[in-house]
Structure 1
Amino acid sequence: MSAGIDFGRRVFAVRSRGGRVSTLVGLRPVLVCAVLIAAALAVAVLVLGSGDYPIPPLRVLRALSVGDIRFDRLVVWEWRAPRVLLALALGAALGVSGAILQTVTGNPLGSPDLIGFNTGAYTGALIVILLLGGGHYPTAAGALAGGLATAAVVQLLALRDGLSGLRLIIVGIGVSAMLAAVNTWLVLRADLAAAMSAAAWGAGTLDGLSWAHVTPALVVLAVAALGLIPAAPWLRALELGDDTARALGVRVDRARLLLVGLSVAFTALATAVAGPIAFVALAAPHIGRRLARAPATALGPAAVTGALLLATCDWLAQRVFAPTALPVGVVTVSVGGLYLAYLLILETRRTG
């Protein structure tokens, strides 16, 4: 069985063969991804050359490939490259996470930021920082555990006669509000030094990341991406509606449960490494879909858009008020808020 829509030079199709679902995508999303990747790499070169010791782009490229100027290579490769690489990787993870959740919930506002996964991760990190003394890896483990536990609670509370997208969002918002109150209480009861450390982590920051943090993050991201490959066609089937998805051989409730788990894994990874970075998971799928002119959420454009957004916002966080650097989460909130206001104005004009 197959279902498909022809959009000129772009094709969106879902096919079922013996209970297996496959998808076809057209040329435009691929071209958009290529352009966005080029833009993200250009921003990465710009960021690698920016700072108290500025390096022109050509010298940045030479430092990455040849390394004939030792100090350039030290600055670019050892000091700046881990941060830039993690910005690209974590931005892609957040973009994919938001794309999955928006598809599963059937709601353009479906995002880990709003459903409470980020808030739960912050709760886990706060417990480690305030009660166990902190440390990067213990804090990351606490954030990961908090995000996964919150996701499990939200899904259990929303799991009634099947996992409904709208119910998942409503329950998630309620759980997020409760956890936000818990987080405030924890910070207010902490001593000043611990509270300041927790607040800095909670803003979302890429400061202090090194190659020691890159390898574990990329390994976990690769494992999550491998898990997404066989599950990605389920997204296409779910976008056609539950009845059509069942006709294509998809076990809808099971597929939703597994896809939400994957979304949480991508979000928890980013939060564990850099803290709760807001709005990238919400905005990246929207922007990627508009650029690709896709009829539904596209994972590739969402991932590349997320990487470009986070790398650009991190560069702005470092340079706008230089020499004072801002947490990248402050910039993503500002940019995301402006984009959300734009979406609301656009929707008001369309419906009005």
Structure 2
Amino acid sequence: MSAAVLAVREARRGVHRRQRVLLVALGALVVGLFLVRALLGDYRISFVDGIRMVTGTTIPGASFIFMESTLPRACMAVLAGAAFASAGAAYQSMLRNPLASPDVLGITLGASAAAVFAVVLLGWTGTPVALVAFAGAVGVAATIHGFAGRGGAATGRMILVGVGLAAVLSSVVHWVLLRADVYRAQDALVWLTGSLGSVSWSEITRLAVVVAVALPLLVVVTRQLGVLGLGDDLAAGLGVRAGRMRLVVTALVVLLAASATAVCGPIAFVGFLSGPIARRLSRGRTSVPAAALVGAAMVLAADHVSAYAVPGTAYPVGVVTGLAGAPVLVWLLVAGRRSLQEAS
């Protein structure tokens, strides 16, 4: 065996080794933040008492706070963060553009517009709103693919159509809010900001099933996305059907993003920033599992800060992610420019 082949194999082993170390470190961070969010707050609960309550023991006062407030919010933060982040990382990788996340291209806005219309103008609540939100996201995704067509310019057309739809849907949301009474408008605004304040165990179960099914499939599919960078013709020559792959990735992205949005609203910047952060930690490689863990950690930390940063006042989690997202975006832009300058 030649020295060149051995060198390539060793380099690959090194990459896989670093990736495993990164995933373990991010997993440990998520577990730590989960325990902090679930156990530490206005009413502090020990780890042993938390295990006892999960297994069925009732502790007066603590059981209600833990089982109906802090634990469900921590579970939903992990699931929603992983769903938004993995969807954003996959879409950015497929379209080869860091701006091409589901929230920028209007998929989550489609869910938001449909849900706000149902809540404000139709007076719906609960499961019907979630179904309408999912239908709105599916409609936007179908429109993007319908106008994108085929060929090498399909990805560019998808971005242009998505940005245009996002602008239209944003105007629709504002029009609906202007027609609402003050109470329904306030509820809609809290949901549009992104909130984990009213999640239920049934919603957590439904989203957990979606994430458990769609996320592994997305991880498998995105391993072939690098071939699309060679162009549709070369990808076809290598046995990859570009159009079908885009359709499959988009379907999984819509399923994850719409399901999370239907439960807790569009949490700002999670899908947009988790992919670039994970790529930077992975030394330029796209990693959907790493992005999912980054998103989960981001939402867990933001939800804890939103609940306890200001005594006596709790904010929607989307307020914190929105405030923190802008500086992180600037940092990523500056760091990317420095990397390019050093490379040149």
TM-score normalized by the length of structure 2 = 0.89
> 1:21 maps to which residue?
none
SS at match of 1:114: coil
> 1:36 maps to which residue?
26
Q: Is 2:166 the counterpart of 1:173?
A: no
> 1:216 maps to which residue?
206
SS at match of 2:301: helix
Q: Is 2:141 the counterpart of 1:151?
A: yes
Q: Structure 2 vs 1, CA of residues 158 and 54 (structure 1 numbering), >3 Å: closer, same or farther? A: same
Give the C-alpha shift of residue 43 in structure 1.
0.7
CA distance in 2: counterparts of 1:322 and 1:142, whole angstroms: 36
> 2:103 maps to which residue?
113
1:66-105 alignment, distance < 5 Å: 67=57, 69=59, 71-105=61-95
> 1:332 maps to which residue?
321
Give the C-alpha shift of residue 347 in structure 1.
3.7
Specify every segment of 5 or more residues in structure 2 that has no aligned partner in the other structure, as ranges: 1-6
Give the C-alpha shift of residue 326 in structure 1.
0.7
Deviations 1:35-76 (A, max 9, x none): 111111111111112332122455445544684845444432
CA contact (8 A) 2:82 2:293 kept: yes
Q: Structure 2 vs 1, CA of residues 9 and 65 (structure 1 numbering), >3 Å: closer, same or farther? A: farther
Aligned mate of 1:307, from 296, 300, 325: 296
Report how many aligned residue pairs link the two structures.
335
CA distance in 2: counterparts of 1:235 and 1:160, whole angstroms: 16
SS at match of 1:344: helix
Aligned residue identity for 1:234:
Q
Give the C-alpha shift of residue 91 in structure 1.
0.7
Q: Which runs of 4+ in 1 moved over 6 A?
A: none
CA distance in 2: counterparts of 1:110 and 1:156, whole angstroms: 17
CA contact (8 A) 1:155 1:163 kept: no
Q: Structure 2 vs 1, CA of residues 51 and 164 (structure 1 numbering), >3 Å: closer, same or farther? A: same
Give the C-alpha shift of residue 11 in structure 1.
5.0
Overall identity of the aligned pairs, in %: 36
Deviations 1:202-253 (A, max 9, x none): 1110011121221111122233235436523332433555454323210011
Specify every segment of 5 or more residues in structure 1 that has no aligned partner in the other structure, as ranges: 13-24
CA distance in 1: counterparts of 2:340 and 2:221, whole angstroms: 35
1:232-243 alignment, distance < 5 Å: 232-239=222-229, 241-243=231-233
Higher strand proportion (structure 1 or 2): 1
Give the C-alpha shift of residue 9 in structure 1.
4.5
CA contact (8 A) 1:121 1:143 kept: yes
Aligned mate of 1:132, from 122, 127, 134: 122
TM-score normalized by the length of structure 1 = 0.87
CA distance in 1: counterparts of 2:13 and 2:269, whole angstroms: 29
CA distance in 1: counterparts of 2:86 and 2:18, whole angstroms: 19
SS at match of 2:196: coil
CA distance in 2: counterparts of 1:273 and 1:282, whole angstroms: 19
RMSD, aligned α-carbons: 2.4
CA contact (8 A) 1:105 1:164 kept: no
